[in-house]
Structure 1
């Protein structure tokens, strides 16, 4: 089974306080998107498609390896993934969708996702246990329930799918509907989603504090416990 990686990299860097698209923000001297692409290739995908802001296409091309395909992303994550999927025409391919904002995801996570797909799973995501007490609250902030955390998981990327499953799920998604991730899109289409073990190093870089912690990891210095 051939495998294609998609990197959603068209987002802004506003919450990170950056003056450029978040995927181009440097970490350890390399932009976040370069880390994400390397993770996918080292984990076993055959090629990578990156959805980028149209105005910054040249900047992305300058920092990514030859052979990485760039497509114009959209105003939303859904639009960007649709654009990247259109550039993956091969039937039978596995598609792994990864966030540029998870730069330190170990290649072993990619390999676990690919192994599950090759074993026949139509969709699979890497997950971690929820270790904190988690509660539901009402509009006023009052706790209304405390779900059993043994049944809860934190979902990471890359998320893997049969190309056919992902394309059909996006085709069935009503216009204007935005779901939180690609697994939610296929679940809305009635497709079961399996899980594999994630990794704490696959944390998402959203705000400046996240980037500072990632820099400590790159430098080999343990972050605060």
Structure 2
């Protein structure tokens, strides 16, 4: 296989909070799998060289079907490990590219957010995370579930994806995932994880709005 000089590579994975999250990536949104929307949105960015989708073994065939037609710039790797996904394409990666890791369930992350993360890495930040300020009031409870105080939310943030890395920081993260030490850029409300019926309705609305803009 010939070496391809890549400036940016994206690993799409299911960031598991529940056992069913991989199946959620196949949930229909406006007639297509959520995963299809995720990868199409990434491939619409011309400066992304390759999207590598880490497909859990039990869903590998379904993931492949959802991404049929994207083969030119998209690779599907059975197995959910980031290390394994990286090993599968390492020989094609030259130099020190920008590496992004994106949650498959954040299908409608705006292009500007993806670019902001990649640009921050190119500007010298070795690890970058898009975040949003915490909007809700955060209460502290004790073991008896009694509220004991209010957390100062001034510096609290909710983390989104894609995460941005240099090669070195990516390899460290793949072994021991942690967001400690990451530089932050502004996230976006549309970059929500789509995990329940209400969020699916929001995703449908975002998808339809996108189609209307194209028309």
TM-score band, normalised by the shorter chain?
0.7 to 0.9
What is the RMSD computed on CA atoms of the aligned residues? 2.5
**1:158-210 residue CA offsets vs partner (Å, 9 max, x unmatched):** 11111211213434x3xxxxxxxx443xx3xxxx2111111111111112221
Displacement of 1:130 in angstroms is 1.1
Of 195, 207, 212, the residue aligned with 2:196 is 207
Of 56, 71, 77, the residue aligned with 1:71 is 77
Task: Map 1:82-93 onto structure 2 (within 5 A).
Answer: 82-89=83-90, 90=93, 91-93=95-97
* Residue 12 to residue 183, structure 1, CA distance change in 2 (3 Å): closer
Q: Does 1:197 align with 2:186?
A: yes
Task: Map 1:20-169 onto structure 2 (within 5 A).
Answer: 21-43=23-45, 44-64=47-67, 65-67=70-72, 68-74=74-80, 80-89=81-90, 90=93, 91-169=95-173
CA distance in 1: counterparts of 2:75 and 2:105, whole angstroms: 19
Q: Which residue of 2 aligns with 1:2?
A: 7
Displacement of 1:12 in angstroms is 9.8
**1:104-149 residue CA offsets vs partner (Å, 9 max, x unmatched):** 1111110000110000000001111111211222222222332221
The answer to whether the Cα contact below 8 Å between 1:9 and 1:50 also exists between their aligned partners in 2 is no
- How many equivalent residue pairs? 198
Q: Structure 2 unaligned runs (5+)?
A: 1-5, 211-215
* Residue 13 to residue 136, structure 1, CA distance change in 2 (3 Å): closer
* Residue 198 to residue 183, structure 1, CA distance change in 2 (3 Å): farther
Q: Structure 1 unaligned runs (5+)?
A: 75-79, 174-181
Give the TM-score taking structure 2 as reference length.
0.81
Displacement of 1:13 in angstroms is 8.3
